[in-house]
Structure 1
Amino acid sequence: MFKKSIALLVILLLVVGMLAGCGSQQSSNQNQNQQQQQQTQPKEKELVFAIGAEVPNLDAQKATDTYAIMVGNAVFEGLVRVYDGKVYPGMAEKWEVSEDKTTYTFHLRDAKWSDGSPVTAYDFEYAIKRLLDPNTASEYAFQGYYIVNGEEYNTGKITDPNQIGVKALDDKTLQIKLKVPTKYFESLLS
């Protein structure tokens, strides 16, 4: 009888152990599945960067360090995008270049700012003029020197920003006039 009791006790312990092991495995699998779902489901309007330093400035006209430029490129959309050295549409869905290669006319796609207001060609005109404004003191203002009167405005030779060769023709059309043809100009607009 004693041997039967021990055998039953051992069997009972094995069965309880197997059930407990299965339960914890199932619970562990459920936890892993939940974690995987949380990781694969995108969180709305959340962008996470793992960088080793603080981003000192996200002002597009004043950013100069690698981290700010990297984050800025991820959250701001230029007129064009550049991948592998090729230029693709960005905010501008299409554009024309004059025969003499000095006038660019960009046609913007429909887009909205985070507050729901439409992005317009006037926003791009403002941004380019702000880049060249001497009061902005942008270290990269020289990138706008290709534009008619860009350098002259930035260096104070002229004071009227309306003389700069950038103009919104309407909400969806931006025109930029260059001093001379500049082969890589489009890539600067990313």
Structure 2
Amino acid sequence: MNRKFALACVLPMVLAGCASNPALHEEITAPQKPSVGWVKQDWRICEEDACPKPTPKTVELSVPQMAVVVKPADPDKPSEPQVTNKREPVVVHFAFAKAIPVGDWKHALETIERQVTPSDSLLIKAYTDDVGSAQYNDRLARQRAEFVLSWLKARGVKNPIEVEARGKCCYVESNDTDAGRAANRRAEIHFVNTKEINR
């Protein structure tokens, strides 16, 4: 009997204490949802339904997005060429005073066959050493360039090819030694864009 009486007295006090506990009250109540509004030309977070009602000038915000700034192209600045595969010129050396190639020239020209693409053009620049007259060396340089041209055409290279006979010009070594003059007796085959060869 005393146990029932004590339980009847204590139970109302426990319930009253739970009801007056503010922390427990906050857990029970539903959390308020903030809303976003365009206030004074800026985005503001407001209590639910406390933001100003949208007007025709209001910008609606659904998901924040990063602004992307696109820089306009400068018409005066030329666009940089896209280089996909830089290829060095192929060099063929020639015997003294002749249009006969020396060294591993066949392997060098076969490199062109392997590397050339349908969009390529070829530019052959032929040179001599400084021995002899300018007229003689111009003719000799032309013959050396034509040898390379004929060989490539015979092997089925159908790309546009331009020839430049430079003669006594643009030395890569000094002409004071036999080795230097041998290095200067050469034809360079360059891979160029089709537009560049028609300039």
TM-score when normalising by structure 2: 0.24
TM-score when normalising by structure 1: 0.25
Normalized per residue, which structure has more helix? 1
Larger radius of gyration: 2
